[in-house]
Amino acid sequence: MALKPAHLQWSEDGAVRSTGFDDIYFQPGRGIEESDYVFLQGNNLPQRFESLTTGSFRIAELGFGTGLNFLLTAGLWRRLAPRDAWMTYLSIEKHPVPLADLRRIFSFWSDLKDFAEPLLQQYPPLIAGFHSIFLPDIRVRLLLCFGDVADVLPEINGAFDAWYLDGFAPAKNPDMWAEGLFPLIAARTVKGGTLSTFSSAGFVRRGL
């Protein structure tokens, strides 16, 4: 399947907008704060990483976007997780951000450079399919899946401890919030697993 990469528009106030969905990736100057609150805190990850007793933790994300959620999660994992534990982070993205744009975005997040640079060095070509990125120094495996979530999610095996549902707003990107995806997510979630999202749309709440 041919991929259509994300086309970004940069505004003077620092917003990065997807022209395809007419929506922004994050609020200017507030992206880190918002992602931390909604996804890391929303899934109670600080406490869960610190109290981890098994050798692994699995996170799935719908909508890799700029990779900010991944970078923040990798940083938290390095600080708090046991030294013998590994995290698998799977992320599905239909319209991946080109490498040059990703590098420009990452330049604004200097505090995350320890995780951003290894990701940039291994960032795959924008070809549909599954791409593995290993960050052994922080014990993280990133599995990037470029393709439509409706096609990719049924192919995913295993169960996840936490989910980030981070697509653009349902009104802008209805395909990623299709009703048929919710049972697939449920079937791939461990008992006691958690989900978090920016969306407060009624049908999303009912589906979850």
pLDDT in tens, 102-111: 998 888 888 8
Q: Taking 60 as the threshold, does the pLDDT of residue 168 lie above it?
A: no
Mean of all residue pLDDT scores within the chain: 86
List alpha helices for the chain, DSSP H: 31-35, 45-50, 68-80, 99-106, 113-122, 149-152, 181-187, 202-207
Cα 32 to Cα 67: distance, rounded to the nearest angstrom: 11
Q: Taking 70 as the threshold, does the pLDDT of residue 177 lie above it?
A: no
> What residues does 198 pair with on adjacent strands?
none
Q: Taking 70 as the threshold, does the pLDDT of residue 78 lie above it?
A: yes
Give per-residue pLDDT as tens, 113-159.
Answer: 998 999 999 999 999 999 999 999 999 999 999 999 989 999 998 89
Q: Taking 90 as the threshold, does the pLDDT of residue 27 lie above it?
A: no
The pLDDT-based confidence of 2 (bands split at 50, 70, 90) is low
* Higher pLDDT pick, 9 / 184: 184
The pLDDT-based confidence of 72 (bands split at 50, 70, 90) is very high
Q: Taking 80 as the threshold, does the pLDDT of residue 42 lie above it?
A: yes
Cα 196 to Cα 61: distance, rounded to the nearest angstrom: 10
Q: Kindly report whether the global pTM for this prediction surpasses the value 0.85.
A: yes
Q: Is 124 left (phi over 0), alpha (psi -120 to 50) or beta?
A: beta
pLDDT above 70 covers a percentage of the chain that reads: 82
Cα 72 to Cα 208: distance, rounded to the nearest angstrom: 24
Sheet of strand 8-10: strand arrangement: 8-10, 16-18, 23-24
pLDDT at 43: 97
